[in-house]
Structure 1
Amino acid sequence: MPRSIWKGAISFGLISIPIKVYGATEQKDISFRQVHPADGGRIKYKRVCEVCGEEIPYAEIAKGYETPDGRMAVLQKEDFDDLPLRTTKAVDVVQFVDAEEVDPTYINSTYFLEADGPGAKPYVLLRDALVRSGRVAIVKVALRSRETLAMIRAKDDLLLMHTILWPDELRDGEFASPAEDVTVSDAEVTMAGSFIDALSGPFEPEQFHDAYREALETLVEAKLSGQAVASVEEDTGEQADVVDLVAALRASVEAAKRRRAESAGEAAAEPEPAPAKRTTTRRSTTKKTDAGPTDGAAAEEKPAKKTAAKKTAAKKTTARRTPARKAS
């Protein structure tokens, strides 16, 4: 079980809900160390004071704020703990809003909230009230030495808290918007909608995987075992400029439908090879001989044809003689 990173209470009107906060996410990326390529030795960094030249242990390092005129304010852990803020130990609910009103761009990190001690009943009360109202709670909380906005919402049996960036922490993206004179036709938008429909479906995150991380793991294993790494052929052809968007989207729709059919198992099964069927038939009708399976089958086929020809000729001769007897 992970360790809680914060302990306090949700201030829900006159109701106080003791909680513990846990990180809800973790990075699964592959971490690397800086090493010397010649011998694989790790590169280490020392924390050295520029004034006295001594190496300072991490536990003894404080935080300092330097003013524009060069003055330094040194802050210890106790200074942060004693800040005159309610949010250092309390999550203050300041508003309830519809979840759709919170732009996902503002969401920063996600945390699990666990009821602590006698907080189980008010915890369930807030959770069920949020579900019934269809709203989320906007709160203020101080986490990791800074106050932040956050959103509390109900998910299954839990309360989740998503920290929210302050408005001035979002950059202005106006520079990235297309030029105002760029337009698209109704036919292009309709075909783009068809492509969206072809790839629409329920969001199932478990069906996706991190191909880049898997490739790195394969590379590391190959390096450790001294094996060569299989290279992937790159498409060196230059991509042509898209002139007819409708034609390009129509081809994209067809390709998406094919991929969906293959992934869903709707593609037709391949037929069994014909030679296997002929071999089975011959083995079932050919008598066993001491010859090998291929030579014996060939040896038996020729006499069989001759015998069949003789029997056919005999039948024809009998058929010709029989009418002659009846006529006499």
Structure 2
Amino acid sequence: MRAIWSGEISFGLVNVPVKLYGATRSHDLSFHQVHDEDHGRIRYERHCEVCGREVDYDHIDKAYDDGDKTVVLTDEELDALPAEDNDEIDVVQFVPDEQIDPILLGTSYFLEPVGRSSKAYVLLRRTLADTERTAVVTFTLRTKTRLGVLRIHGDLLALQTLRWPTDLREVDFAPSRTRISTKELTMASALVDQFSGDFEPEQFTDEYQEQLRELVDAKLEQGESVDTDETFGTERAAGDPGGDGKVVSLMDALERSLEKRRGSSGGSTSKKTSSSKKSSRSA
């Protein structure tokens, strides 16, 4: 496993060095789109709606639209925000476990102790278990300030993000007032008893994904497939009347990008943020 963040859990004067790992992964098959006639890949390009040109990541800024006006934020302005350099998981409160509404819970992460001694890590884990408390924390991940909770997962500490209270929608509906008889409650309770048991997540499977995998495997075995390299296509010849001069091949796109970069390296550049950094911000 590869750590995606490192820092410290801080509560009072106690600091616990940790590394952060994603605790979950998707088991869904990943798809891309292709043309139904020739199976060529369909790609999406970044076009400016004013000039109509395709825009590189180096020339894309973030903007906020309030309905009437749009505010443009540069990389320099975003980089100046203080949250970006915060490397602490700051414990702000210990609350009873049952007070955390599950609807607020988000992404889960595992925390690994760092250093020669994991005593502080174990102490925090044992304290949470003995007191039946959950630690409410704030931390910064991928330049965003987040709310979260520290919980126990076996011998480990797990960090789960929490949605901010303002993220919950207000609803304008409620169940109608209906009279429930004692007999109906008794029968419903009996039905619950019949379905009661200990939760064992391993006994549940995603039937759709299993059948989807079987379908894909069957098509591969029967030869109902195309060569992957052919789905990327090649650049149309300049004299082809159907050609639009756009690069389809991934290698061609990389080579063109490098050539363009070398050609413009001598000129003045106002934006130096790499495309990878842009990509990470858009995630």
Structure 2 length normalisation: TM-score? 0.71
Structure 2 residue ranges without an equivalent (≥5):
225-283
Distance in structure 1 (CA, Å) of the matches to 2:126 and 2:28: 36
Contact 1:17–1:119 (8 Å) recurs in 2: no
Between the two structures, name the one with larger relative contact order (CA 8 Å, sep ≥ 6): 2
> Does structure 1 residue 196 correspond to structure 2 residue 192?
yes
Distance in structure 1 (CA, Å) of the matches to 2:118 and 2:50: 53
Distance in structure 2 (CA, Å) of the matches to 1:15 and 1:45: 49
Contact 2:64–2:71 (8 Å) recurs in 1: yes
Amino acid at match of 1:206: E
> Does structure 1 residue 157 correspond to structure 2 residue 155?
yes
Aligned to 1:132: 130
Gap change, CA 1:215 and 1:59, over 3 Å in 2: farther
Structure 1 length normalisation: TM-score? 0.62
Amino acid at match of 1:20: K
Deviation at 1:124, TM superposition (A): 1.4
Distance in structure 1 (CA, Å) of the matches to 2:94 and 2:120: 17
Distance in structure 2 (CA, Å) of the matches to 1:40 and 1:80: 41
Deviation at 1:190, TM superposition (A): 0.9
Distance in structure 1 (CA, Å) of the matches to 2:170 and 2:74: 33
Query: Identity over the aligned pairs, expressed in percent?
Result: 46
The runs of at least 4 aligned residues of structure 1 exceeding 6 Å deviation read none
Deviation at 1:45, TM superposition (A): 1.2
Deviation at 1:130, TM superposition (A): 0.9
Gap change, CA 1:170 and 1:71, over 3 Å in 2: closer
Distance in structure 2 (CA, Å) of the matches to 1:15 and 1:126: 10
SS at match of 2:107: strand
Number of equivalent positions: 224
Aligned to 1:10: 9
- Superposed CA RMSD: 2.5
- Mean CA deviation greater in 217-226 or 14-23: 217-226
Amino acid at match of 1:49: C
Aligned to 1:63: 62
Higher helix share: 1
Structure 1 residue ranges without an equivalent (≥5):
229-328
Q: Give deviations 1:96-131, integer Å, cap 9, x for gaps.
A: 011111010010111111122357221111111111
Contact 2:149–2:162 (8 Å) recurs in 1: yes
Rg larger in 1 or in 2?
1
Distance in structure 2 (CA, Å) of the matches to 1:82 and 1:21: 24
Gap change, CA 1:202 and 1:68, over 3 Å in 2: same
Distance in structure 2 (CA, Å) of the matches to 1:86 and 1:30: 34
